[in-house]
Amino acid sequence: MAVISAPRIALEDLVFTNAFAALGERFYESRTPSGLEGARLVAVSPDAAALIDLPESELTRDEFIRIAGGTAILRGMQPFAALYGGHQFGVWAGQLGDGRAIALGEITNKRDEPWEIQLKGAGQTAYSRFADGRAVLRSTIREFLASEAMDALGIPTTRALAMVANDEQVIRESIETAAIVVRLAQSFVRFGSFEIFAARGEADAIRILADYVIARFYPECGDGDDRYVRFFEAVVKRTARLMAAWQSVGFMHGVMNTDNFSILGLTLDYGPYGFMEGYEPGHICNHTDQGGRYAFDQQPGIGLWNCYALANALAAIVEPAQLEVAIKTYVPELRAAFLETTRKKLGLANAETEDDQLGQDLRTAMAEAKSDFTRTFRMLADIRTAAECAANPELAQAYREALLLALGGTPAAAEWLGRYERRLERETRPLPDRVAAMNAVNPRIVLRNHLAQEAIAASEAGDDEPVRRLLAALRRPYSDDPEVAAYDRPSPPGRPPIVVSCSS
């Protein structure tokens, strides 16, 4: 997570453009939001605001709240809803599109980065079908918090600038109240944006869209005849690295449909997501996913499946044989990224051949004991080698016993811990450096479902401060400060798990 420092500007000085709209009306429909009148500002992300050079003070102005609520349009905005299709749970769903999201336009910041601003929950569009186009407070808080939490974990994601809400009633499984999240991304183009035109046999539209994405976001692919296959290979590799990042922190997306996969390799569309608590490789976080297609351990394979779906769409402009070569880079990229992350999480600066197996065996032990995923990895930094624990062997033994207990206390867990200690003895990095490096990649806290639900319940009762406090902690997930450590709380024993579904 980079710290951004740039000149700050006022709301009225923002200059809106719309490069996506310039592609033509085949790609979107113009749509003015049907906003939330009298909306209240629930929370803002100062870090996201810095991406478009806005100081936090600008986000509390009445004018901004009206923009976030979809009831005010600034000069230069050209609101639109994008068209796309997609495979949902492995089945082609045909035309989809932004059914409850409306883009306001694009801002280029002082660092020459384009950022598209989008309102999710801003009302019906041509792609809403029979839906109301609204989002509810519950799901909006979940997306707002998750977007900013994932960025703080260093995982590519869309961002959340702010969220607003009012008392308008929205019917889901029960009657809830409406809300809007203001999302930021350099682009919201998805795999399904290409698939819809492949299904319609419109190769020229695929080419237009690909040229747009390449020129703006993949300039390294050049402008030669091979630019499309280079582009595809770059997307494949970004997707593989994203899957490795999800697995490394125990993140479960829940709905990995191709319309929810970003062409930029971002985590996109937070619905029934979850962070792993007691480690179960086959855990299904989405109650709607009864077949387990998107279970935690299936995510890397689904990432590859989705890349094949994108390849099928691009086959209209790229030779299939070239696409086959490019897609073969997925598995090596995934494995390399995951092994690199595993070494960092284990505190291993020097690469050895056994490191991959050491990581696999740790996860096997964690699965057998249903170890708390986040806490167990964080505890690894407490382990000391014999040389390192000379000054305080009693404390080192206490750390060892705590980790062994977290791993189930089995002979297999003890054998793994012995191997790990011997592996650490071959490291040359000073202990303080190793601990600092490990604590910079193994978070103290993640957005557990019960933490999100506590904030949601407070906001539904009229108190938005818990959302803001939780956001502030999630923006510093690696810190041991008391304000952060207060959220290092697994679900209380005996409490039934919180059920999330596609309505989440």
Catalytic residue positions, numbered: 259
Residues 6+ apart with CB under 8 A from 217: 186, 187, 263, 264
* Of 11, 153, 22, 14, nearest in space to 80 by CA: 22
Backbone angles phi, psi at 311, to 5 degrees: -60, -40
Cα-atom radius of gyration of the chain, to the nearest Å? 23
Question: CB 169: neighbour CB atoms within 10 A?
Answer: 10
Q: DSSP E strands: which ranges in 121-241?
A: 135-136, 159-171, 175-185
Output the six-digit token pair for 80.
């639109």
> Using an 8 Å Cβ cutoff, are 59 and 161 in contact?
yes
Q: Is 43 left (phi over 0), alpha (psi -120 to 50) or beta?
A: beta
* Of 202, 188, 304, 198, nearest in space to 243 by CA: 304
Q: How many Å apart are CA 485 and CA 233, to the nearest integer?
A: 41
Handedness of CA 97, 101, 104, 109 (dihedral sign): negative
207 exposure class (CB count in 10 Å sphere: 0-12, 13-18, 19+): middle
Backbone angles phi, psi at 218, to 5 degrees: -130, 55
- Burial readout 380-391 (b: 16 or more C-beta within 10 A, e: otherwise): bbebbbeebbee
Q: How many Å apart are CA 203 and CA 368, to the nearest integer?
A: 50
Give the position of tokens 């993640």: 446
Output the six-digit token pair for 292.
């387990």
Output the six-digit token pair for 112.
């020459």
DSSP state of 218: -
Query: Which run of H or E residues covers position 120?
Result: strand 114-120
Residues 6+ apart with CB under 8 A from 458: 464, 465, 466, 467
